[in-house]
């Protein structure tokens, strides 16, 4: 038995990708409905992430037509069967996380949501949910595939495992970035690095995720947080988020400056948040002996980076990949940090686009014209 409100329309608007040469186009498609273990969210906003660009540009193969958008905030309007005892309710505001654990596989059973095999095999490769079917379709019944929950739409079906209720003091539109930009930053600091109080940190590439790493690392008690980027514009607000120093690596030798700032040691932890060889090199170059490099960024297509083997071995350095976070545990923690003012999610959102402007917004993101994070705001 489902629980629902009667105000759900039969159709909705969605930004649909049919052709990577054409880009996103708004279409009217059928409003989806949740199945077992799922909820339907009326989307207030959807964050715009670099990883969407990989699909839009064709660098990553994904079934088309598709609705992208993988971090949302909104209001639950319908519960699927089996959700009654989760505490989720119709009318509840929630943040939706991009990494949607099935809750049943071996990884999920051990609490490792970030390694959920069905998420990768079904959703990320085939654009469907865990029964092997998409929830989206055109008015004629043609399947439309889902990248995560397909958040670039007025309504989105999300597994109950991937939403966290938001308290009344959370603003819904900017809260859409909590489910990827903030969640990924939290996962990198809390899970990937296991950052300890008093350690020193460098963050290489301070876009939406990198900015969140800066403020979360500072909140976790890092002694120094050094923000590194090639853009003065991106570096300018970093001290307001908790950075103790900034370095423009296009103008200054990042390794030399980090060594100077750390008394010749380098940092205990470096985070790499872009996913290209140049930023990997920088993140490794600034590490101290025994340091931990945590790569988070995902590059377009297949990316490879060189690692100086002898230095890594002799200096006992570690490379610890971090993908997202453990959604069921960590998304509620991220929401709490935002509610308490530890994560400044509002100011990170620098641009608002309407659904009709989604393609324009992603082009601005591609052209590096977005500071922090942009969102598609369904109220516009």
Give the integer Cα–Cα distance in Å for 127 and 44: 22
Give the integer Cα–Cα distance in Å for 70 and 176: 9
Tell me the CA distances in angstroms from 365 to 33, 50, 322, 353, 375, one per residue in order: 31, 7, 23, 12, 11
Closest CA to 148 of 125, 117, 177: 125
Give the integer Cα–Cα distance in Å for 6 and 75: 14
* Location of structure tokens 């990494």: 99
Strand partners, 134: none
Give the integer Cα–Cα distance in Å for 12 and 197: 48
Give the integer Cα–Cα distance in Å for 314 and 250: 29
Assign a CATH topology to domain 183-319: Rossmann fold (3.40.50)
Tokens of 126: 């085939």
CB 26 within 8 A of CB 356: yes
CB 36 within 8 A of CB 82: yes
> CATH topology of 3-180+325-377 equal to that of 183-319?
no
Give the integer Cα–Cα distance in Å for 213 and 201: 10
Give the integer Cα–Cα distance in Å for 295 and 353: 29
Residues 6+ apart with CB under 8 A from 72: 41, 43, 44, 45, 46, 47, 95, 96, 149, 151, 156, 158, 176, 179
Tell me the CA distances in angstroms from 317 to 236, 277, 283, one per residue in order: 30, 18, 12
Tokens of 40: 């339907």
Q: Please, what are the averages of pLDDT over each run of 10 residues along the chain (380 residues)? A: 70 98 97 98 96 92 97 97 93 97 96 96 97 98 98 98 98 97 96 97 95 96 98 96 97 97 98 94 97 90 85 92 95 97 95 98 94 95
CB 192 within 8 A of CB 218: no
Q: Which one-letter DSSP state was computed for residue 303?
A: -
pTM: 0.94
**Domain boundary assignment for the chain:** 3-180+325-377, 183-319
* Location of structure tokens 């003012």: 341
Amino acid 298: pLDDT: 83
Supply the CATH classification number for the domain 3-180+325-377: 3.90.180.10
Cis check: omega of the bond before 68, within 30 degrees of 0: no
Largest CA distance in the chain: 66
Amino acid 301: pLDDT: 72
CB 28 within 8 A of CB 12: yes
Strands (E), 18-125: 24-30, 38-48, 66-67, 72-79, 93-96
Q: From edge to edge, which strands make up the β-sheet containing 318-319? A: 245-248, 224-229, 200-204, 267-272, 287-295, 318-319
């Amino acid at each position: 038995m489902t629980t629902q409100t009667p105000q759900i329309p039969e159709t909705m608007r969605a930004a649909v990708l049919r052709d990577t040469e054409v880009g996103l186009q708004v279409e009217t498609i059928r409003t989806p409905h949740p199945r077992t273990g799922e909820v339907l969210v009326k989307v207030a906003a959807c964050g715009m992430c670099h990883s969407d660009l990989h699909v839009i540009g064709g660098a990553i193969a994904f079934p088309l037509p598709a609705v992208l958008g993988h971090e949302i905030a909104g209001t639950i309007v319908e519960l699927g069967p089996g959700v009654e005892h989760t505490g989720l309710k119709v009318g509840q505001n929630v943040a939706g996380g991009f990494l949607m654990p099935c809750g049943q596989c071996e990884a999920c059973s051990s609490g490792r949501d970030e390694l959920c095999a069905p998420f990768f095999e079904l959703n990320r490769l085939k654009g469907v949910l865990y029964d092997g079917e998409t929830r989206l379709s055109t008015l004629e019944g043609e399947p439309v595939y889902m990248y995560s929950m397909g958040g670039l739409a007025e309504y989105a079906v999300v597994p109950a495992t991937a939403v966290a209720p938001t308290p009344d003091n959370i603003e819904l539109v900017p809260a859409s970035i909590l489910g990827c930009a903030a969640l990924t930053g939290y996962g990198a600091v809390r899970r990937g690095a296991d950052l300890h109080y008093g350690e020193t940190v460098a963050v290489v590439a301070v876009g939406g995720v990198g900015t969140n790493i800066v403020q979360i690392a500072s909140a976790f008690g890092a002694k120094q947080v050094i923000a590194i980027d090639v853009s003065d514009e991106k570096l300018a607000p970093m001290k307001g988020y908790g950075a103790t120093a900034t370095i423009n690596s296009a103008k200054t030798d990042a390794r030399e400056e980090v060594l100077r700032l750390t008394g010749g040691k380098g940092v205990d932890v470096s985070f790499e948040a872009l996913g290209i060889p140049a930023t990997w090199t920088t993140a490794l170059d600034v590490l101290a002996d025994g340091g931990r490099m945590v790569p988070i960024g995902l590059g377009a297509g297949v990316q490879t980076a060189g690692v100086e083997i002898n230095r890594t071995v002799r200096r006992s350095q570690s490379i610890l990949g971090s993908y997202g976070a453990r959604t069921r545990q960590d998304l509620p923690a991220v929401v709490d940090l935002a509610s308490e003012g530890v994560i400044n999610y509002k100011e990170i959102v620098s641009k608002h686009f309407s659904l009709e402007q989604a393609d324009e917004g992603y082009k601005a993101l591609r052209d590096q014209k977005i500071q922090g994070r942009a969102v598609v705001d369904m109220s516009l």
